[in-house]
Amino acid sequence: MSRYYTRVCNFYYGNESKKLVKNKKSIALNQIKEISFDQIEIITRKSKKKISIDQIKNLSQPLKNKINLDLKKIKSKKKNFANLNFQNIPNILGVLNLTPDSFSDGGKFNTKKRGVTQALHLFSSGANLIDVGGESTRPGSKKIKENLEWGRINKILKSIGKKIPLSLDTRKSNIMKRGIKLGVRLINDISGLNFDSETINVLKKYKIPFVIHHSKGIPENMQKNPNYKNVLLDIYDFFEKKIKLLRSIGINHNNIIIDPGIGFGKNLKHNMTLIHNISIFHSLGFPILVGNSRKSFVKKLSGKNDTKLRIGGTMASSIYLMMQGVQILRIHDVNEIMQGIKVFKKIINN
């Protein structure tokens, strides 16, 4: 039997969604009546086919069983953790780069005063968590020594780690341990937990929520002709195998987030395929995080209309991702994106 994947699609949002769910014409995502769907796409590595939810009953028994198992995960209510509220999406992960060389804001916040001020600004603007990083992982960047990375972030963590909710963007297990002791609530490792062999042991010991991030290669080489057999299904399989590994070593909690890694070992076509089909990852059963903020796809798609901050492209992609049920967006310009989301929600529910 072929390997089948279930992608929910044809989403409805707001009051229209509530009416359809009430009349049993659509299925609520994660029991959130404000966002629902009435179609699924059945995908294999050789084919894809969209059907309405009322046609599922006509499928062969093995395929129907598979899809119903996926739908059980897709329909299940997500439990909140790390100051993230999965009944009110999207949540916002505010970006705080304490580096001299990050791709869009390097050097802007790499002092204690400026870093603390920006963290407080992001949080007051509506971010659920502030993602603090002391090492740039932009394409072409090189790893730095642990002491240098810790030196960039420790004063910030000590100042605000117990006051506002923080996520820690690091690949190094010792940095994770030290951050957790200072109040960090979420670990965001862009290497997919692969950079440091001790990382999984730290996650197991402290039982802390964490992100599984997909990245092909390492920052030094990840944009040198990345290739996949099927980018969407290859990354889906990566997550499935990683979760199986984590379960096998005793990490049994569900406070896990998956991030397909837009721009990390992907070209424009890969990124567009992932964003367009992002709802396939709901069938894994975990909240989805997407880092769409200021990414290079905005420049490539907008051409001469590109701007340094890329707020327009970030806003457009954020609305699309929200309407595909993505639970968390990683954002630099929190105030502007929150403004756009609030206005959109008011208009669609008017």
pLDDT tens for 55-109 read 999 999 999 999 999 999 999 999 999 999 999 999 999 999 988 754 455 456 6
Q: How confident is the model over 269-298, as a mean pLDDT? A: 97
Q: How confident is the model over 263-285, as a mean pLDDT? A: 97
Q: What tens digit of pLDDT does each residue of 143-193 get?
A: 889 999 999 999 999 999 888 999 999 999 999 999 999 999 999 999 999
- Asked if pLDDT for residue 220 goes beyond 50, the answer is yes
The amino acid that residue 113 corresponds to is K
pLDDT range class, residue 142, cuts 50, 70, 90: confident
CA dihedral 236, 40, 32, 273 (to 10 degrees): 40
Residues 6+ apart with CB under 8 A from 17: 11, 26, 28, 33, 34, 35, 36
Q: What tens digit of pLDDT does each residue of 22-66 get?
A: 999 999 999 999 999 999 999 999 999 999 999 999 999 999 999
- Asked if pLDDT for residue 308 goes beyond 90, the answer is no
In this structure, are residues 40 and 271 in contact, taking their beta carbons and an 8 Å threshold?
Answer: no
- Asked if pLDDT for residue 122 goes beyond 80, the answer is yes
pLDDT top residue among 155 and 2: 155
- Residue-level pLDDT at 108: 64
- Residue-level pLDDT at 222: 65
Say yes or no: domain 91-348 is CATH 3.20.20.80.
no
- Asked if pLDDT for residue 8 goes beyond 80, the answer is yes
CA dihedral 226, 333, 32, 71 (to 10 degrees): 0
- Residue-level pLDDT at 95: 96
- Residue-level pLDDT at 102: 46
* Average pLDDT score over the chain: 94
Q: How confident is the model over 217-230, as a mean pLDDT? A: 81
Q: Point out the residues that are catalytic.
A: 295, 330
Q: What tens digit of pLDDT does each residue of 276-287 get?
A: 999 999 999 999
Residues 6+ apart with CB under 8 A from 145: none
**Residue ranges of the domains in the chain?**
5-75, 91-348
Q: How confident is the model over 218-229, as a mean pLDDT? A: 81
Q: How confident is the model over 333-346, as a mean pLDDT? A: 98
d(CA 90, CA 88): 6
- Predicted TM-score (pTM) of this structure: 0.95
Q: What tens digit of pLDDT does each residue of 229-243 get?
A: 999 999 999 999 999
- Residue-level pLDDT at 255: 98
- Asked if pLDDT for residue 341 goes beyond 80, the answer is yes
Q: How confident is the model over 201-222, as a mean pLDDT? A: 90
